[in-house]
């Protein structure tokens, strides 16, 4: 059973601003969708509130300390990352943690695979990741994307595999 993480960050490690993802990069979103499709996805309550609906084609699990937090019917609510992982692993060997900051940090300790997108921009925002230490991991750039009319920023995707 494995834990994978997928995130996109700016060069200064910002992942979110005003409760939302601070860029619109359709091809990067397509990479997220392609990579996570068919797998359970686990997210914090604020990440869920950014989408306000279940991401289709995936089992969606939301973590909140509020036992009576209202989610749409198809979404499962869990009180902690450990409980969410335990539940997700009942239906799939690979489970993706998709945010936010606290859950990336907590899941990093257990993860064997990390998909990191680096967006080539300095962005101000309240959701900031720490610098993860990829010593003891093998890292490979799997995609490079230039800035174009649909993508305000260039980005690259790195796949990190724990050795």
Ligand X SMILES: NC(=O)c1ccc[n+]([C@@H]2O[C@H](COP(=O)([O-])OP(=O)(O)OC[C@H]3O[C@@H](n4cnc5c(N)ncnc54)[C@H](OP(=O)(O)O)[C@@H]3O)[C@@H](O)[C@H]2O)c1
Q: Binding residues for ligand X, per CB under 6 A?
A: 7-8, 15-16, 19-21, 43-47, 50, 63-66, 69, 79-80, 98-103, 127
Shortest spacing between CB 38 and ligand X, in angstroms: 19
DSSP β-bridge partners for residue 4: 96, 113
Nearer to ligand X, 40 or 99 (CB): 99
Nearer to ligand X, 15 or 59 (CB): 15
Shortest spacing between CB 155 and ligand X, in angstroms: 11
- Cα–Cα separations (whole angstroms), residue 153 to 31, 54, 66, 101, 161: 16, 27, 37, 22, 26
Dist. CA 67–CA 45, nearest whole Å: 12
Shortest spacing between CB 27 and ligand X, in angstroms: 15
In this structure, the chain runs to a length of: 163
């Amino acid at each position: 059973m494995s834990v994978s993480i997928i995130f996109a960050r700016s060069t200064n490690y910002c992942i979110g601003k005003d409760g939302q993802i601070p860029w619109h990069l359709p091809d990067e979103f397509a990479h997220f969708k392609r990579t996570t499709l068919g797998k359970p996805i686990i997210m914090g309550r604020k990440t869920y509130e950014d989408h306000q609906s279940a991401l289709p084609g995936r089992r969606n699990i939301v973590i909140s300390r509020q036992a009576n937090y209202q989610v749409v019917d198809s979404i499962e609510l869990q009180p902690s990352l450990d409980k969410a992982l335990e539940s997700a692993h009942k239906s799939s060997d690979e489970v993706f943690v998709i945010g936010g900051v606290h859950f990336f940090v907590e899941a990093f300790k257990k993860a064997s695979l990390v998909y990191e997108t680096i967006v080539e921009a300095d962005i101000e925002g309240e959701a900031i990741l720490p610098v993860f230490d990829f010593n003891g991991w093998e890292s490979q750039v799997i995609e490079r994307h230039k800035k174009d009319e649909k993508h305000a920023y260039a980005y690259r995707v790195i796949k990190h595999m724990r050795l």
